[in-house]
Structure 1
Amino acid sequence: MKTFKIFTLIALSGFGLIRAQQTPADPQSEAISIVGATAHIGDGTVVENATLVFENGKITALAAGAATQGKVINAQGKHVYPGFIAGSTSLGLVEIDAVRPTRDMDELGDMIPHIRSMIAYNAESKVVESMRPNGVLLAQVSPKGGRISGTSSVMQLDAWNWEDAVVKADDGIHLNWPASYRRGRWWMGEEPGFHPNKKYGEQIDETLQFLANAKAYNQKPATEANIAFAGAKGLFDGTQKLYVYANGEKEIIDAISRLHAAGVGKMVLVGGYEAHKTADLLKQHQVPVMVNATHNLPFYNDDDYDHAYKLPALLVKAGLLVGIQNMDAANFQVRNLPFYAGHAAGYGLDKETALQLISSNTAKILGIDAQYGSLKVGKSATLFISEGDALDMRGNQLTHAFIDGREISLETHQTKLYKRYSNKYKTK
């Protein structure tokens, strides 16, 4: 048994070395100028034949014909974009969905706002590494499971460890609002299809009671420590947002109205499959929506076939602040984020507005828009150059990418395999 344990440790150590990530980039050492590109600012505007200059990790100039400094990158005929931002992901918390020891996005307990996803983030994840070649450079790493899942943080995707990766720590708490209907669990002998959730009211009461207790706990010095209650303090003093996962019209109305009455100040709706039916309520309470990925089928049999495709446009036209996230798909599919936005552009949005759904809008929702989400002087040089339209998988071909001015590697496990096998079947 002892020999087996030693062998296992050696094998696992070797496996870890083989799978080590690309070395994170060094800090920017000289000014860099990108010349001749079409600059997609991220706020709906475009600058043709732009010169973009950045130094010490910050954009210092952006205009057609601006003076160059330092190293010059000729991007004639190419496009430059702000780094795309993925919201509500488990990136760095899950490596292989089918292997339980690699999944660290869910902790024991139902009401655990004090659980911090940040310290579980694996900066050496192969999944995280695979985001960068598609332009996804930042992500909100959030916990999953339970009723109140825990606290998320915003991370940049080129780092040695979680401490280096943090852009905004503990930005929000995540709540899975109960569903009024649920699918029958066939493995437990229940009838298939949707059935009323008989415990819907009870589950709401449990959630609101927890929040009421947490609010009372944080209003005066406690005689006995309660880390769960203390972990929810930010919801009541305005320092954290509550990300509410709800899809149905009834659930959205119940969640927003009841949580507002409970004293929760800042909320974000995540999912929002029927959010277009509650647009007035969402506007009234200034609740942004992070809709699910557009590459989805209709949820109900009588829904429009293209409901998921056109939902972002419906919400934008209703005057809501909208972002796109990828909550329901496998973790590795977050790399398709730009193509979700591109799909939305084919169903009611113009390309530059669609771009905002994964750049400036998401930055505003996450509270990082002062530095990220758009190409503006004074902001972080977190951006990339693409051969073509980055929202189209045919044009999304990155040549350079930068996070805070650091030129990052676009090499991944997949690109290594591509190079390894690209000549194997050459036509003779």
Structure 2
Amino acid sequence: MKSLYPTTLLLILLFFALNVNAQQTPGAIQESAISIQGATLHTGKGEVIKNSRIDFNNGKIEYIGKANENHPLKPNTQIIKANNQHIYPGFIVPNSTLGLVEIDAVKASKDENETGSFLPHIRSLIAYNTESKVVESMRPNGVLIAEITPRGGRISGTSSVVQLDAWNWEDAYINKDHGIHLNWPSIYKRMSHLDKKKKIKQDLENYTKEVNKLTVYLEQAKSYRSKEIGTKSIAFEAVKPVFSGNKTLYIHANTKQQIADILQFKTNLQIPKIVLVGGYEALIYASELKNAKIPVLVNRPHSLPRKDDEDYDAPFKLATQLTQAGLLVGLEPSGDMERMNARNLPFYAGTCAAYGLSKEQALQLITHNNAQILGIHNHYGSLEVGKSATLFISEGDALDMRGNKLTHAFIDGRAVSLKTHQTKLYERYSKKYKK
């Protein structure tokens, strides 16, 4: 019996540790109508309504107008007075590995990629961890929806869109397996002992080989017929919807040569829906991208320029320049510490507002525009009658870290918790300094 004691004690301690560190309990289904009155309402599509009123019931928005308009309230409506505050649609973060990795230094907590190169059948959704402590830290900044995206390989797998307050991935998903992510071959590698001219020639040859290999693979997937072949390929089955337009092909690329080749690639293979992710040099082909109806998910503007001769603020201006060129533009947070930094999404948009966009245009980058790119705009991304009541109330300007202080947040009409392990630490240490 004594030999069992340490094991039993360890299990008990582990049980309590897991309970203490678990996610907040997801919000309960909305039971009565809610009316938020007196706030400045930002629709996410450019319109602003001062002294507004928004009513929602059963998770859907039923009325938007002025607070002083004589519109009847449903019985037992809960009224929230939000004078001098702001209402926004929930922010949407695309191309994120939220819930796929908890601690970078702990291999067992990393589930963002699989071994292999062509993996269109890999589903990131089933690896999504709703109990992630990183995920819960998004909500206090207004980030309520995310695209969960795999990494690695030439074709990484499929992404899904989830809401960030759920018991499990089955409860979380909004748009399941909606897109396939392709990492376009890069042209130039690191310099080696070879002379420069020989190195450049070799890199171009390797690049051409990789593009041809990719093209052949997708051509095979396009012509794939399981009944004719007699064997079933789950990889080709996953790719087939890309050619019918039922899935979006997200191509990660940045250089002008890559973008030029992607435009030709789209034409040759007749792929209906392509989204360019990154697009650092997309401005060079802005008119061609616009004509091809290819949106761009611009990488976070809080980055350094990629070229020695560029303006220091080139990343800050890119979203503005592409928007002014007539492209559909959204913002994505990939890069160093991307999961933790995803909560800074509203401040990335705020930086774009400081570099040429109006505040409402900048807001669209992370609401309606991202919703359009992810294919969820019929229900999310803007505040309109009939759409999901996924929104929040902020004490001030949500694109400014000084004003982004949430008092309430709702996902599909459910009131969600704004408490996290970080807010608990803040409350704990604020008591010390108040003394």
- Which of 395, 415, 418 is matched with 1:410 structurally? 418
Match of 1:263 in 2: 270
Deviations 1:320-344 (A, max 9, x none): 0000001123111000000000000
RMSD: 2.1
Match of 1:277 in 2: 284
SS state at 1:72 partner: strand
Match of 2:218 in 1: 211
Q: Is the 8 A contact 1:208 1:259 kept in 2?
A: no
State the one-letter code of the partner of 1:387: E
SS state at 2:117 partner: coil
Q: Is the 8 A contact 2:226 2:233 kept in 1?
A: no
Summarize the alignment of residues 347-362 of structure 1 with structure 2, pairs less than 5 Å apart.
347-362=355-370
- Cα distance in structure 2, aligned partners of 1:343 and 1:217: 46
Summarize the alignment of residues 16-27 of structure 1 with structure 2, pairs less than 5 Å apart.
16-27=18-29
State the one-letter code of the partner of 1:212: E
Q: CA deviation at 1:98?
A: 2.0
- Cα distance in structure 2, aligned partners of 1:3 and 1:252: 63
Q: CA deviation at 1:13?
A: 4.4
- Cα distance in structure 1, aligned partners of 2:118 and 2:210: 12
Match of 2:190 in 1: 183
- Cα distance in structure 1, aligned partners of 2:434 and 2:249: 54
SS state at 2:433 partner: coil
Q: Is the 8 A contact 2:93 2:145 kept in 1?
A: yes
- Cα distance in structure 2, aligned partners of 1:240 and 1:404: 24
* Residues 1:53 and 2:61 aligned together: no
- Cα distance in structure 2, aligned partners of 1:156 and 1:237: 27
* Residues 1:169 and 2:171 aligned together: no
Residues 313 and 191 (structure 1), Cα distance of their counterparts in 2 relative to 1, 3 Å cut: farther
The normalised TM-score by structure 2 is 0.93
Deviations 1:226-265 (A, max 9, x none): 1111111111111000000000011111122113312322
Deviations 1:35-67 (A, max 9, x none): 000000000110110000000000000001343
Match of 2:394 in 1: 386
Match of 1:153 in 2: 160
334-343 or 254-263, which deviates more? 254-263
State the one-letter code of the partner of 1:35: Q
SS state at 2:24 partner: coil
- Cα distance in structure 2, aligned partners of 1:184 and 1:124: 43
SS state at 2:404 partner: coil
91-100 or 367-376, which deviates more? 91-100
Identity percentage over the alignment? 53
Structure 2 gaps of 5+ residues are none
Summarize the alignment of residues 325-364 of structure 1 with structure 2, pairs less than 5 Å apart.
325-330=332-337, 331-364=339-372
Match of 1:29 in 2: 31
* Residues 1:141 and 2:143 aligned together: no
Match of 1:236 in 2: 243
Q: Is the 8 A contact 1:34 1:74 kept in 2?
A: yes
- Cα distance in structure 1, aligned partners of 2:244 and 2:29: 36
Match of 1:248 in 2: 255
- Cα distance in structure 1, aligned partners of 2:4 and 2:240: 48
- Cα distance in structure 2, aligned partners of 1:52 and 1:233: 42
- Cα distance in structure 1, aligned partners of 2:5 and 2:297: 51
Residues 54 and 145 (structure 1), Cα distance of their counterparts in 2 relative to 1, 3 Å cut: same
The normalised TM-score by structure 1 is 0.94
SS state at 1:232 partner: helix
SS state at 1:242 partner: strand
SS state at 1:423 partner: helix
Deviations 1:364-406 (A, max 9, x none): 1111000000000000000000000000000000000000000
Q: Is the 8 A contact 2:144 2:163 kept in 1?
A: yes
* Residues 1:373 and 2:381 aligned together: yes
SS state at 2:408 partner: strand
State the one-letter code of the partner of 2:270: G
SS state at 1:110 partner: coil
- Cα distance in structure 2, aligned partners of 1:238 and 1:222: 23
State the one-letter code of the partner of 1:25: G
- Cα distance in structure 1, aligned partners of 2:108 and 2:156: 19
* Residues 1:399 and 2:407 aligned together: yes
Q: How many residues align?
A: 422
